[in-house]
C-alpha cells in the first residue's frame, strides 16, 4: 500500500508540500496518496484575499488577515523560490516589493505548472484528528463547508499547514467598552480609506502596527498614535505619527498612556498579533507557542517531537517565507518517505534545545535574520531543494531593515538583486506612497519608465525618481 499523506491547508505552505512531492515524482519517485484539505474555495492562504471579516461566506471564521492595499513588506528577492524564479513567472524584471495580487499570481503560477490542484479538496474544513498509537494512523474528520457533508479519512502522515496569523490575540484594556468609536483587530482590517481625517490609535509595535499605521497615513489619517508594550519601533515617522507607551485605560474617546499623557481618538486598531490555534487537533499534537522564530517541540522546526508522523510547516515567525516553506516541505517529504532517517528522541530533543538556546541569545534583528538563514540552510542541505546563496539573502534582509530605518515610507521604492538569477529588480513606475491602484494590471502595465537599472546593486529609487521626474 502506498503512503497516505494528509495535508491541512492549501496556503503557501501546503502548496509547497504538494510541489515537493511533485518535484520528487518528476524525478521518478512514487507519488503517495495525497489529500489536501482547504476550507476556502481557492488556494493561496493569506494571499487569497477576501473582503470577509469575522465570518466568511461559508459560515467559517474568515482566514485572511490581508488588506486590499498590502504590498510585500520585505523584498521579493528574500522569498523567491529557487525552483521557480520571478523571471520564469513574469518573463521580465519587476520591482522588489510587489502588491499582494502580484505575489498571489507568482505562487499560484508555480503550482498550476505542477498540476497539483487535483489533490486539493476545496471548501473542506478539517474538524478533528485522532491518532492511534497502535496502528500509527491518523483518522481525520472533514466537512464540506457548503453542503455540510462530513467524511472520514485515514492517513499515515499528517502535515499541518494552516498558518498562525488568523486567530487574533485580543487583550483587554480598562474602560475600552466606553470607547464610542470603532475598535477592531488587524485581522479585520481591510483598508484605511475610511480613516481619512481620523485620529487613529494602534496598539502594538510590530509589522501590523507599522504597516497599517503607514497605510492610514497614506490614506490621509489626521494622526496616528502607536502604543507599545515592550518598546518603541523608533522609525523616522511622518510628523503626524507618534509612539507612546502602553495604554493604561480608556475613558470615552480618551486613551491614557503609561507615561501620564493622554489623547483623543476616533478609532482603535489592535495590532497585537495572533495565536497559534489548531481547533482540529488534540492538545498533545498541537503547537502551543508565542510567535517566535523557533517554537519548541518541533525537530528542525517541522517534525512533532512526540510523534514523528506529524509535521508542521510555517509554524515559526517569519523573515523567510515562501522559500523557507519549500525547505521545510522538502525536508518533511524526505522524512515521510524514509529518505531522511529520524535520530533518537533524545538526539532530537538535544537538537531542538540547541536551537532554543541560540534563539534565547539573539541580540537584535540582524541576528534574527542570520538565525533563520542558518535554519533554512540546514534544511536545504539535507534535501535536493535547489541551493541558493543564503548569505546573500541575509544581507538583503539587513539592507531592507536599514532602508526601513532610513525611510519608513520609501523603503519599498528600493530595488534589490535576485540571488538566484542575478536579475536586478526594476524601479517601480510609481512610488509606494503615491500608488493607489495596486492591481496586477497596473503593476505590470502602469506608466513605463525608461531607466536601466541592471547595472546597479541597490538603487536609491527616491533619488533617481526625484532627479528623473
Ligand atoms: P496561510 O497563508 O495562513 O494558509 C493557511 C491555509 O490553511 C488557508 O488557506 C486556510 O484557509 C487553511 N485552513 C486553515 N484552517 C483549516 C482547516 N481547519 N481546514 C482546512 N483548511 C484550513 N509574508 C511575506 O512573505 N510577505 C509579506 O508581505 C507578508 N505580509 C503579510 C501580511 C499579513 C497581514 C499577514 C497575516 C501575513 C503576511 N505574510 C507575509 C506572512 C504570511 O503568513 C505568509 O506569506 C504565508 O501566507 C503563510 O503561509 P501558510 O500556508 O503557512 O499559512
Ligand atoms: P507580531 O509580529 O506577533 O507582533 C505582535 C505585537 O503585538 C507586538 O508588538 C506585541 O508586543 C504586541 N502585543 C501583544 N500583546 C499585547 C498586549 N497585551 N498589549 C500590548 N501589545 C501587545 O504580529 P503582527 O500582527 O505585527 O505581525 C504578524 C504577521 O503579520 C507578520 O508576519 C507580518 O508579516 C504580518 P511585544 O513586542 O510582544 O511587547
Are 112 and 19 part of one and the same domain? yes
Cell numbers for 238: 511622518
Smallest-distance ligand from the CA of 79: 1
The answer on 258 and 112 residing in a single domain is no
d(CA 260, CA 249): 11
> Do 264 and 278 reside in the same domain of the chain?
no
Q: Which ligand is nearest to the CA of 204?
A: 2
Ligand nearest to the CA of 268: 2
Task: Please work out whether the CB of residue 291 comes within 6 Å of at least one atom of ligand 2.
Answer: yes
**257, 293: one domain:** no
Mean pLDDT across the chain, nearest whole number? 95
The pLDDT score that the predictor gives to residue 448 is: 60
Could you tell me if residue 45 is inside a domain? yes
Assess whether pLDDT exceeds 50 at residue 461.
no
Mutate to test the pocket of ligand 2, among 66, 206, 404 (most ligand atoms within 8 A of CB): 206
**Residue 380 is part of a domain; what is its CATH number?**
3.50.50.60
Beta bridge partners of 424: 417
Residues 215 and 313 reside in one and the same domain:
no
Range of the domain at 212: 176-270
- Tell which atom from ligand 1 comes closest to the C-alpha of 321: 25
Q: How far is CA 143 from the centre of its chain?
A: 26
- The count of domains in the chain is 2
Residue 468 in this model has a pLDDT that exceeds 50:
no
Same domain, yes or no: 62 and 160: yes
The yes-or-no verdict on residue 230 having pLDDT over 80 is: yes
Q: Is the pLDDT of residue 388 over 70?
A: yes
Residues 90, 149, single domain; the answer is yes
Q: Average pLDDT, stretch 157-170? A: 98
Strands of 148-205 (E only): list them: 150-155, 157-160, 167-168, 182-185, 199-203
156 shares a domain with 128: yes
Q: What is the pLDDT of residue 72?
A: 98
Residue 181 has pLDDT above 90, yes or no: yes
Residue 258 has pLDDT above 90, yes or no: yes
- Ligand 1: residues whose CB is within 6 Å? 8-14, 37-40, 45-47, 63, 65-66, 70, 72-74, 79, 125-126, 161-163, 165-166, 280, 314, 318, 321
> Is the shortest distance between the CB of 64 and ligand 2 below 6 Å?
no
**Dist. CA 279–CA 274, nearest whole Å:** 15
Helix (H) or strand (E) holding 328: helix 322-336
Residue pLDDT, tens place only, 395-431:
999 999 999 999 999 999 999 999 999 999 999 999 9
Between 461 and 305, name the one with better pLDDT: 305
In a domain, 466, yes or no: no
Look at the block and give the residue holding cell 498533545. Answer: 284
Domain identity same for 12 and 156: yes
Across 325-339, average pLDDT: 98
Site to probe by mutation for ligand 1, drawn from 8, 13, 46 as the one with most ligand atoms within 8 Å of Cβ, is: 46
In a domain, 159, yes or no: yes
| Structural domain includes residue 336 | yes
105 CA to middle of ligand 2, Å?
Answer: 28
Residue 247 included in any domain: yes
Indicate the DSSP class of residue 80. -
pTM above 0.85, yes or no: yes
Q: Which of 243, 270, 297 is the last residue of a domain?
A: 270
Domain for residue 396, yes or no? yes
Residue 335 pLDDT greater than 90, yes or no: yes
205 and 162 in a common domain: no
Give the pLDDT band of residue 458 (cuts 50, 70, 90): very low
Q: For position 462, what pLDDT does the model report?
A: 37
Give the model's pLDDT for residue 463: 38
Are 117 and 252 part of one and the same domain? no
pLDDT tops 50 at residue 346: yes
Domain boundary among 363, 381, 400: 400
pLDDT of residue 447: 81
- Mean pLDDT over 220-249 rounds to 98
**Share of residues in the chain with pLDDT > 70 (%):** 95
Residue that is last in its domain, among 237, 270, 303: 270
Q: Do 141 and 284 sit in the same domain of this protein? A: yes
Ligand 1 atom nearest the C-alpha of 13 is 51
Residue 459 reports pLDDT greater than 80: no
In-domain check, residue 261: yes
Angle at the Cα of 36 from the Cα atoms of 33 and 41, rounded to 5 degrees: 145
- Establish if 468 belongs to a structural domain: no
Range 454-459 average pLDDT: 34
Amino acid at each position: 500500500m502506498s503512503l497516505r499523506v494528509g495535508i491541512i491547508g492549501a496556503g503557501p505552505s501546503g502548496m509547497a508540500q504538494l510541489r515537493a512531492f511533485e518535484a520528487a515524482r518528476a524525478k521518478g519517485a512514487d507519488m503517495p496518496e495525497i489529500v489536501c484539505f482547504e476550507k476556502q474555495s481557492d488556494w493561496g492562504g493569506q494571499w487569497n484575499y477576501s473582503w470577509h471579516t469575522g465570518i466568511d461566506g461559508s459560515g467559517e471564521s474568515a482566514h485572511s488577515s490581508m488588506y486590499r492595499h498590502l504590498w510585500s513588506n520585505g523584498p521579493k528577492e528574500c522569498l523567491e523560490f529557487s525552483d521557480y524564479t520571478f523571471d520564469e513567472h513574469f518573463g521580465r524584471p519587476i520591482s522588489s516589493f510587489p502588491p499582494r495580487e502580484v505575489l498571489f499570481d507568482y505562487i499560484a503560477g508555480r503550482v498550476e505548472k505542477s498540476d497539483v490542484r487535483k489533490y486539493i479538496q476545496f471548501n473542506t474544513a478539517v474538524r478533528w484528528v485522532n491518532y492511534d498509537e497502535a496502528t500509527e494512523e491518523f483518522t481525520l474528520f472533514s466537512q464540506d463547508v457548503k453542503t455540510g457533508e462530513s467524511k472520514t479519512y485515514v492517513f499515515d502522515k499528517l502535515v499541518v499547514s494552516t498558518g498562525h496569523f488568523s486567530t487574533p490575540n485580543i487583550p483587554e484594556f480598562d474602560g475600552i467598552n466606553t470607547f464610542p468609536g470603532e475598535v477592531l483587530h488587524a485581522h479585520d482590517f481591510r483598508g484605511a480609506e475610511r480613516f481619512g481625517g481620523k485620529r487613529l490609535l494602534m496598539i502594538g509595535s510590530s509589522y501590523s502596527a507599522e504597516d497599517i499605521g503607514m497605510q492610514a497615513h497614506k490614506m490621509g489619517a489626521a494622526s496616528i498614535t502607536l502604543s507599545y508594550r515592550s518598546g518603541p519601533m523608533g522609525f523616522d515617522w511622518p510628523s503626524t505619527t507618534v509612539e507612546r507607551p502602553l495604554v493604561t485605560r480608556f475613558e470615552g474617546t480618551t486613551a491614557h498612556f503609561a507615561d501620564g499623557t493622554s489623547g483623543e481618538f476616533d478609532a482603535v486598531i489592535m495590532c497585537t498579533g495572533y495565536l497559534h490555534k489548531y481547533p482540529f487537533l488534540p492538545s498533545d499534537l498541537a503547537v502551543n507557542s508565542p510567535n517566535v522564530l523557533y517554537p519548541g517541540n518541533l525537530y528542525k522546526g517541522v517534525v512533532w517531537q512526540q510523534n514523528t508522523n506529524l509535521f508542521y510547516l510555517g509554524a515559526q515567525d517569519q523573515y523567510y517565507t515562501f522559500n523557507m516553506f519549500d525547505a521545510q516541505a522538502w525536508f518533511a517529504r524526505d522524512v515521510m518517505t524514509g529518505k531522511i532517517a529520524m535520530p533518537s528522541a533524545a538526539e532530537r530533543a538535544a537538537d531542538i534545545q540547541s536551537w532554543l538556546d541560540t534563539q534565547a541569545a539573539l541580540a537584535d534583528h540582524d541576528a534574527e535574520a542570520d538565525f533563520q538563514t542558518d535554519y533554512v540552510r540546514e534544511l536545504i542541505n539535507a534535501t535536493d531543494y535547489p541551493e541558493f546563496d543564503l548569505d546573500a539573502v541575509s544581507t538583503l534582509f539587513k539592507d531592507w531593515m536599514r532602508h526601513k530605518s532610513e525611510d519608513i515610507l520609501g523603503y519599498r521604492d528600493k530595488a534589490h538583486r535576485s540571488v538566484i538569477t542575478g536579475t536586478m529588480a526594476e524601479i517601480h513606475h510609481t512610488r509606494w506612497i503615491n500608488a493607489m491602484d495596486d492591481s496586477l494590471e497596473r503593476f505590470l502595465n502602469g506608466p513605463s519608465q525608461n531607466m536601466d537599472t541592471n547595472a546597479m546593486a541597490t538603487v536609491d529609487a527616491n533619488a533617481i525618481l526625484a532627479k528623473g521626474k
